Amino acid sequence: MAILPSMPEGYTLTELFQRWPEPARPLMALHDVLLRGPSPFSVAERELIAGYVSGLNQCDYCHGIHTYVAEAFGIGEGVMAGLMADIDSAPVDERMKPVLAYVKKLTLTPSRMVDADAQAIYDAGWDERAVHDAAAVCATFNFMNRLVEGTGIKSAGAIPEVRGQRLRDMSYTDFGRQIGIID
């Protein structure tokens, strides 16, 4: 039996949002604020965090989409694969490594966070807003990964590229308008 047997076979997050638009609407706004609004991190870096957290959670659907979007905004091809193997040797900006270590620990062992985890981000030249934004993007994608996995959404075929192209070309709120959940 499928997790949501009333949904069509192979349903995606789009269909889930269309089925229950009320909780999806504020999620679109939150994604716009966190991933496209003002931040010390570029859009590419925030999408990298989103894809990385999703990879840590083994959420193939979100990992694939946000890896595609991060690359579309300028993250080099193969960077995500390198991160998933080892942060220290990954071909990523050195300033991002403590940020990525922070979100990794926050995802995998949140109760073990200590001041030194944030201090490593400060030592790399980031400010408090960066710590906040890293934690907020991390938290949002831990939530989204559980929503996707908990409702039985699976990645298939060209979904990462198709969904990623949409998110590269429009805001999350505009995506919500396109799928008919936001006026």
CA-wise closest residue to 123 among 97, 105, 103:
97
Say yes or no: domain 27-176 is CATH 3.60.20.10. Answer: no
| Mean pLDDT in residue range 41-49 | 98
Residue range 25-54: mean pLDDT, rounded:
97
Mean pLDDT, range 21-49, rounded to an integer? 97
Per-residue pLDDT, averaged over 84-107, amounts to: 97
Amino acid found at 61: Y
Inter-residue long-range contacts of 80-87, CB under 8 Å, 24+ positions, other chains counted: 80/48, 80/51, 80/52, 80/55, 83/48, 83/52, 83/55, 84/52, 84/55, 84/56
Report whether pLDDT(162) > 80: no
**pTM (two decimals):** 0.95
- The chain-wide mean pLDDT, for the chain, equals 93
pLDDT value of position 83:
97
* Model confidence at 56: pLDDT above 80: yes
DSSP letters, 13-52, are HHHHHHHSHHHHHHHHHHHIIIIISS-SS-HHHHHHHHHH
- Write the secondary structure of 85-116 as one string of H (helix), E (strand) and C (coil): HCCCCCCCCHHHHHHHHHHHHHHHCHHHCCHH
pLDDT above 70 (res 160): no
Distance CA 95, CA 88 (A): 11
Give, as one character, the DSSP assignment of residue 173: H
Yes or no: say if 102 and 128 are a contact pair by the CB < 8 Å rule. Answer: no
pLDDT score for 18: 96
**Domain spans, the chain:** 27-176
**Taking a C-beta distance cutoff of 8 angstroms, is the pair 133, 39 a contact?**
yes
Whole-number percent of the chain with pLDDT over 90: 85
Mean pLDDT throughout 18-33?
97
Compute the C-alpha angle 172/28/183, nearest 5°.
Answer: 85
pLDDT for the residue numbered 156: 63
Categorize the per-residue pLDDT at 139 as very low, low, confident or very high, splitting at 50, 70 and 90: very high
The predicted pLDDT at position 27 comes to: 96
pLDDT score of 150? 97
User: Cα–Cα distance between 117 and 103 in angstroms, integer?
Assistant: 10
